[in-house]
Chains A and B, each alone.
Chain A
Amino acid sequence: NAGVTQTPKFRILKIGQSMTLQCTQDMNHNYMYWYRQDPGMGLKLIYYSVGAGITDKGEVPNGYNVSRSTTEDFPLRLELAAPSQTSVYFCASARGQREAFFGQGTRLTVV
């Protein structure tokens, strides 16, 4: 059982480039989340979704976009990469407000 799968695991971007971080889950969870983790800062919520077609901003949404066209997939889009977006990104899914299951993370460096 795959759980939550994130791709890629690592990526280096140049300033101004764009990319999409992929996230897919096979647990039929309605909630999905994107977090970024910076040293000493914990996890900051970027965007979340409570079901297909419904998304909402978290604490730090600027510079990112999401879509949720299916229950399984929740891609995160970076349009104009900036050094401040260097971070580790985690996708998670949950059944309602219960415990979330996390992917292994994507380590992104913007140079």
Chain B
Amino acid sequence: AQSVTQLDSQVPVFEEAPVELRCNYSSSVSVYLFWYVQYPNQGLQLLLKYLSGSTLVKGINGFEAEFNKSQTSFHLRKPSVHISDTAEYFCAVSTTGIGTASKLTFGTGTRLQVTL
């Protein structure tokens, strides 16, 4: 079974500063990886995804993430954050493979708080 760990429950950062939100996963088979964002009182919205190919993936709102297979990580980065990036961010994993009834498993989330 796969699992996801988001080590930071909260990350405070000043506006225009860079940010990295950490995500590590565990799986015995190949994976698909995702980052979702949740604004207050809303559902989850996909930020970016890694399915295959280039390990550096770019998403919406200037976010990017890098898949590191050897370190089983998929950290999310943004070079300069804005107040509007304040939200909850979730890392998620599903497994690949023919015939695999894969479940989409989420981490516990990281609250990004951007201040002036």
Contacts and interface: CB of A to CB of B under 8 A. Distances in A.
A105 B41 CA distance: 9
Contact of B104 (A41, A92, A103): A92
A45 B103 CA distance: 9
A42 B92 CA distance: 10
Interface in B34-62: 34, 36, 42-46, 49, 51
A35 B100 CA distance: 20
B73 interface: no
Contacts of B100: 97
Nearest to A6: B43
B9 interface: yes
Interface residues of B, number: 27
Contacts of B44: 43, 90, 92, 102
Given A50-B101, A58-B103, A98-B32, A103 B43 contact: yes
Contacts of B95: 97
B90 interface: yes
B104 A33 contact: yes
Interface size, A (range): 20 to 34
A105 B96 CA distance: 27
Contact of A40 (B32, B104, B108): B108
A19 to B, nearest CB: 20
B43 A102 contact: yes
Query: Of residues B6, B46, B94, which shows the largest number of chain A Cβ atoms within 10 Å of its Cβ?
Result: B94
A35 B108 CA distance: 13
27 contacts: A31-B104, A33-B103, A40-B109, A41-B108, A42-B90, A42-B106, A42-B107, A42-B109, A43-B90, A45-B104, A48-B103, A56-B101, A92-B44, A92-B104, A94-B104, A97-B32, A97-B94, A97-B95, A97-B100, A97-B102, A97-B104, A99-B34, A99-B49, A100-B104, A102-B36, A104-B42, A105-B43
Interface of B: 6, 9, 32, 34, 36, 42-46, 49, 51, 90, 92, 94-96, 100-109
